[in-house]
Every structure is written in structure tokens, then in C-alpha cells.
Amino acid sequence: MNYTNTIVISAINLVEGGTLSILKKCVQELSLNNFTEKYKIKVLVHSMDLLPKYSNIEYIAYPLSKKSWIFRIMYEYFYFYFISLKLKPCIWISLQDMTPFVITKKQYVYMHNPSPFFQKKKEGMQLSLKFQLFVLFYKYIYKINVHRNTAVIVQQYWFREKISKLCRVSKSKIIVAYPEFEKKEIFSENELRKNQFFYNAFPREFKNFEVICEAAEILSNKLPDNNWNIYLTIDGTENSYSQKVVQKFRYNSHLHFIGLISREKCEEYYQTSEVLIFPSLLETWGLPISEFKLYNKKMILSDLPYAREAANGAEKVIFFDPRDSKQLAAIMESVIRNDNSKHFTAIPKLECDEPFCSSWKELFKKIL
């Protein structure tokens, strides 16, 4: 087949949160760094309104893609085959975990859903049916057509190890591409509040808000009158999980359920908080870790591979078992009492093994 100079970016399932940010960064890089002088860029999306308009980028919308998994599978494994025959792209990049059946010179898939590697191991933990299905089926979704890819793209080294074993793909064919973070000077317009703890996350079961609340219950019995406060970005209205957490712990005066907040408000809490707590049981990266470490303040993080990698280069970190509220309470108590028995340590910068990219620009130069 005579391939055209067309690049297809497939992203019909990315509509919100971190995955949409990935898509926006990807499209911005293609538009602003002269790639469009050589290639025609076509981006397959759920809706035309999700992304900024660029004169040199063409969007093609598939509004049915989020209606059900039947439509998603139909597009990935049947319809896109005919699209590829029509466009004859030289490169097809799927940003949404699944490897479609397409005809192209070079094919890549960006895998970013860590659910197949979730380990429950927490007594009494309730998981939604949707998440349980993700855990079950993504193990198979990742494997379908995976060897059609020129390379697989992931965000962290631990994820490369897991995907290599799960899909039997050589690590030399899995590119670790760190997400880009805006470089900015950190200055605080707000005064630091001693003993203020902060956790910023959207409420899902694996985000593990309850371990912080359980630690707060323990601390309330030991330090009832001390001036310490915990701010959590849920208020019980987001979903059934947040509702259960807030209802159970709403009477604890040290817990402040502030609900979902804006980017600007989040920066305010980063500035005023003494400590970030990040107890999530599952992440592809853990964006608040990277954002908060720019402030060179204390972080209490899950002792899990994603957090250790995201925290590389941070100056004041202590890791804990995210299923152990007593351990978390002990670390928080040491902060409140200004007791140095719990040591916050610096995390050495990670040596990056190839294939590795630290930006979309680097990634595109490697794969185009």
C-alpha cells in the first residue's frame, strides 16, 4: 500500500480529567512545533468541543463512542479498519489503551489505565461494579492486537514492567514517556498554616479517602484540642462513594470536606498546607505529587511503585502502607507534635533508561 503523510490520533474515549489533558498536550505539540509542515494531522474525538481549535489540525467526531462499550469495540476493531483503508495513514496513534485493527505503516498505543494491576487487600473495601469490570477486562483488552504496534507508550517504569509481563512485549519496545508539567516559579501569596494536611483527588474507591478519615478518628482521641486540620476535595455530592465517606466521618471537626475545587483554589491549598497526603491505591502517575513537590514541603505518600517514581527528586517524603490508618495517624501525630522521630527524607532523582522521553516533542521525534 502507498501510505499518505497522514497521522491519525485516535482518542474517541477521552473526555475528562488526566486523559483529556494528555490529548490536549498531544494535539498542542503537533500543532505548534512544525510537525504539520510535513504531516496532515487527523484527530478522532468524542466531541468537537473538547479541544482548542487549530487551523492545521482536523477533528473527526464520533459522538456515539461513549454511549456504550459496544460502540467503542465496534469502532476500535471494525470501523477504524475501513477508516485506515480510506486515509492510508503512515502513523496511527491510539491514546486510549486499546490497539485497533488498522492498516498503517507504523502503529502505537498509549496505555495509561492501571486497573489490571490493582490489588485489593483491604478488609471491607467496597468496589463499584464498573471498576471491578475494568480490573477484570483490561487484562484482556491490553493484549488484543498488542503485537501489531511498533511500540507501546506508558508513563512510568513500573508500568512498563507490568505491561511487558502481561502482554509479553519486550521492554525495548515499550517507551516510557513522562507527562509534561508546566515549569513555573513557586511563590506563595498565602501564609503557611501549621498542621494543615491536604488531599486533592476525585472520589473513586481506590483513591482511599477513608484511610485519612480513619487516621483522623485516631488522632481526635489522642489530640482532641490541638490545632490541626485536614482538607479533602469531596463533600458527598459527587457519587455514592464520597457520600458514604462523608456520612460516616462528617462529625469529626478536624475533617473539612470542601468538595471539588478549581485549579486556582487547588494552588491556594498547596500554598497554605504544610503537608500533602496522597494515599491512593492505584495511579498511572499521581499528578498532585508532582505539583506539590515543587513547593519543597512534606509529603506522606502511599508506599507503592507509582508514588515512589512520581516523587523522585522530592526533598521531604515519608511513605506509608496505604491500608494502615494507624501508621498514617502516627506519622501525622509526629508532624503535629513537631516530633522528628518520623523522618521525612529526600528521594534521589531516577536514572532514566531508554527508551525514554520527557516531553511530547521528544516522543514525536522518536516515533515519527
> Is the model more confident about 301 or about 23?
301
Q: What is the 3-state secondary structure (H, E, C) of 185-245?
A: CCCCCCCCEEEEEEECCCCCHHHCHHHHHHHHHHHHHHCCCCCCEEEECCCCCCCHHHHHH
Least confident interval from 21-35, 47-61, 121-135: 121-135
- Tell me: pLDDT of 18 over 90: no
Reported as a single tens digit per residue, the pLDDT across 25-40 is 899 888 887 788 889 9
Which residues 6+ apart lie within 8 Å of 103 measured at CB? 1, 81, 84, 85, 88
Averaged pLDDT, 288-306: 93
Ordered by where they begin, the domains of the chain are 6-181+354-367 (3.40.50.2000), 193-336 (3.40.50.2000)
The confidence score (pLDDT) of residue 159 equals: 94
Percent of the chain having pLDDT more than 70? 95
The confidence score (pLDDT) of residue 179 equals: 83
Averaged pLDDT, 164-180: 93
Assign 186 a pLDDT band (cuts: 50, 70, 90): low
CA 237 to chain centre: 22
- Tell me: pLDDT of 129 over 80: no
The confidence score (pLDDT) of residue 184 equals: 58
The confidence score (pLDDT) of residue 130 equals: 73
The answer to whether 252 and 220 are in contact (CB under 8 A) is yes
Averaged pLDDT, 288-309: 93
- In angstroms, rounded to a whole number, what is the distance separating the alpha carbons of residues 324 and 335? 17
Number of Cβ within a 10 Å radius of residue 27: 22
Q: What is the pTM of this model?
A: 0.87
- In angstroms, rounded to a whole number, what is the distance separating the alpha carbons of residues 237 and 260? 10
Q: What Cα–Cα distance (Å) separates residue 11 from each residue in 19, 22, 95, 315, 331? A: 9, 10, 6, 36, 42
What does residue 129 show for φ and ψ, rounded to 5 degrees? -60, -40
Assign 120 a pLDDT band (cuts: 50, 70, 90): low
Instruction: Please give the grid coordinates belonging to residue 90.
Output: 503512515
Question: What amino acid occupies position 94?
Answer: S
Which residues 6+ apart lie within 8 Å of 239 measured at CB? 203, 204
The confidence score (pLDDT) of residue 90 equals: 95
Reported as a single tens digit per residue, the pLDDT across 242-259 is 999 999 999 999 999 999
Averaged pLDDT, 127-151: 86
CA 2 to chain centre: 38
Instruction: Please give the grid coordinates belonging to residue 126.
Output: 467496597
Q: How high is the mean pLDDT of the chain?
A: 89
